[in-house]
Structure 1
């Protein structure tokens, strides 16, 4: 869902891994580094495409899906006042299910911008 455009999920490469602590230290650090890189790419692309961009929230929760993954949430000044400084999970259920927020071709330019930023960040490491 893209009610916050640019929302991304980082998946672990082994679906049997349930939590960060299940990984050996080197892979744990690599996952966290990838989360940082994705967060920075989303931040750069969001800042460039939406003047109301405010920040990025990074989360590793795992309460619903039993595999290691990280959520990258861009946050914006145009969000409803009562939700702007609250966890994304408090957004009304319709934001999570309404087709108007589904990922689609209208998001291709932002997806490309995030991909381009990932490429740039990868080339500088």
Structure 2
């Protein structure tokens, strides 16, 4: 009996989300976009949180040629539009979308799309999402089957938006 082919091993999306997306084994993938992969966040402390993962080698936006920067930012805006459509339909307290390109923790180009809501506490609603601290990763906020309908709505909205392009 021969050893399993390491190339056929399933990639863990928690340690290599892009490799798993390419392999088709990342369960958070919403859609392949021009610059990368739209994924729903592993935590949903603010329902609809998504990330655009750049599918290439870049630490920050300025690592890319200018046309590629524009493509990445355009994809972020389209993903944000999809999140807005889905979240506005799901929750009348939806307020706005916040966009962030940070890279401080994971040195790979990616953009965060945060849905914001009127029901957020006043002291947190008016500032960056980071003010929530570690509470964002509490077990009750982890992505699960209860988020399937919102995930499906975001993916559907994103497909519609991309079809308009």
Are residues 1:78 and 2:119 paired?
A: yes
Structure 2: distance between partners of 1:9 and 1:75: 15
Aligned positions, number: 123
Equivalent residue for 2:59, pick from 9, 18, 40: 18
Structure 1: distance between partners of 2:134 and 2:123: 15
Are residues 1:90 and 2:131 paired?
A: yes
Equivalent residue for 2:151, pick from 96, 108, 111: 111
SS for the counterpart of 1:65 is: coil
Structure 2: distance between partners of 1:102 and 1:38: 21
> Post-superposition shift, 1:25?
1.9
> Post-superposition shift, 1:92?
3.4
SS for the counterpart of 1:70 is: strand
Report what 2:95 is aligned to.
Answer: 54
- Give the greater-gyration-radius structure (CA): 2
**1:65-93 Cα deviation digits (max 9, x unpaired):** 10100000000011111111111001032
Q: CA RMSD in A?
A: 0.9
In structure 2, the gaps of 5 or more residues are 1-42
**1:22-69 Cα deviation digits (max 9, x unpaired):** 111221111111000000000111000000000000010111110100
- In the superposition, the TM-score normalised over structure 1's length comes to 0.95
SS for the counterpart of 1:107 is: helix
Report what 1:5 is aligned to.
Answer: 47
Bigger relative contact order, structure 1 or 2 (CA pairs below 8 A, ≥6 apart) = 1
Report what 2:107 is aligned to.
Answer: 66
> Post-superposition shift, 1:12?
0.3
Q: Which aligned runs of 4 or more in structure 1 are off by greater than 3 angstroms?
A: none
In structure 1, the gaps of 5 or more residues are none
